[in-house]
Amino acid sequence: MHFPAQIISFIAALFIMLFTGTLSDTSPVCSVIQGLPGLNGRDGRDGINGLKGDQGPPGEPGKQGIKGSNGAPGKQGPQGIPGSSGLPGQKGERGNTGASGPPGPEGKNCDCAAKSGLTDLQDRVSSMEDALKQLQLSISAKTKALLYARGATAGEKVFVTSGKELPYDESKADCQKAGGQLASPKNSEENNAILSIAQYYNLSPFLGITDIQTEGTFRYPDGKPITYLNWNLGEPNQKGEEDCVEMKLNGGWNDQGCQGKRLNICEF
């Protein structure tokens, strides 16, 4: 409990007066006169430390650090699996006849040379059979990939379109650049294979067949006259300048000018 300093001084003065009054019997009883207030007391001592406060909330996350420098290059990867064996090379030309050698030793009873020659031949045939199997697998995979993309096969031929529409000259050059030639059907199976692509794209292609060289004589790209034809009724009608051949979406042919753009279909 705190009392104001004046009150404390007053109580102290009163106490002293009472105390001195008790010690002196001779002093007459007299009226009490209030003295002046004493001086202020000194400041009290500092209180003891308060209890530890609760833990504060977690601070805001710091900013992202700057990017570190690139790491050292990784170790070299393991060696790849060996590729499939290549095709057997072509048969070499027969060598020149050598000069006759010295006479050989006398022959034994058994036909040992013929036997080892046969074994050698069997080994070679067997390794060629293996190579052939490998080749068939590889061709089959590539053909499937072509057909899946935008192609069709007929016999040994594969027809593929680039999906582009080009004038005859550009379409022809495009196929040649790719190692093929413009689709040139030589039978109904090939004609149908080309038609299936045309129908899928809903676009007519130019064939590789033209009468550019001799008006009225339609030829394959190698210059030989055609041996199979599938003209639509009334065609070829040579209307104006019509030296190219387009396949209509019914599979029939029409002689047509070479300048328009048609679906590019090559054969390989």
211: contact with ligand MAN by CB under 6 A: no
235: contact with ligand MAN by CB under 6 A: yes
CB of 216 to ligand MAN, least distance (A): 15
End-to-end CA distance of the chain: 114
CB of 192 to ligand MAN, least distance (A): 22
Judged by CB under 5 A, which stretch of 197-205, 208-216, 223-231, 245-253 contacts Ca ion?
A: 208-216
- One of 9, 161, 210, 254 touching ligand MAN (CB under 6 A): 254
Other Cβ atoms closer than 10 A to 263: 24
The amino acid present at 126, given as its one-letter code, is S
Judged by CB under 6 A, which stretch of 145-153, 159-167, 204-212, 250-258 contacts ligand MAN?
A: 250-258
CB of 159 to ligand MAN, least distance (A): 23
Q: Catalogue the E-assigned strands of the chain.
A: 151-154, 157-166, 181-182, 206-214, 217-219, 244-247, 253-256, 262-267
Helix (H), strand (E) counts: the chain: 4, 8
243: contact with Ca ion by CB under 5 A: yes
Which residue stretches of the chain are H helix?
5-23, 112-150, 168-177, 188-201
Residue whose CB is less far from Ca ion, 9 or 171: 171
**Cβ atoms 106, 66 nearer than 8 A:** no
Q: What's the rounded Cα separation, in Å, for the pair 247 and 230?
A: 9
Judged by CB under 6 A, which stretch of 103-111, 135-143, 211-219, 253-261 contacts ligand MAN?
A: 253-261
CB of 204 to Ca ion, least distance (A): 12
Other Cβ atoms closer than 10 A to 37: 15
- One of 242, 245, 262, 266 touching ligand MAN (CB under 6 A): 242
256: contact with ligand MAN by CB under 6 A: yes
Please tell me the count of residues contacting ligand MAN according to CB under 6 A: 7
Judged by CB under 5 A, which stretch of 82-90, 195-203, 209-217, 245-253 contacts Ca ion?
A: 209-217
| Residue 190 CB contacts under 8 Å (≥ 6 apart), including other chains | 154, 155, 157, 159, 183, 267
Contact residues for ligand MAN, defined by CB under 6 A: 235, 237, 239, 242, 254-256
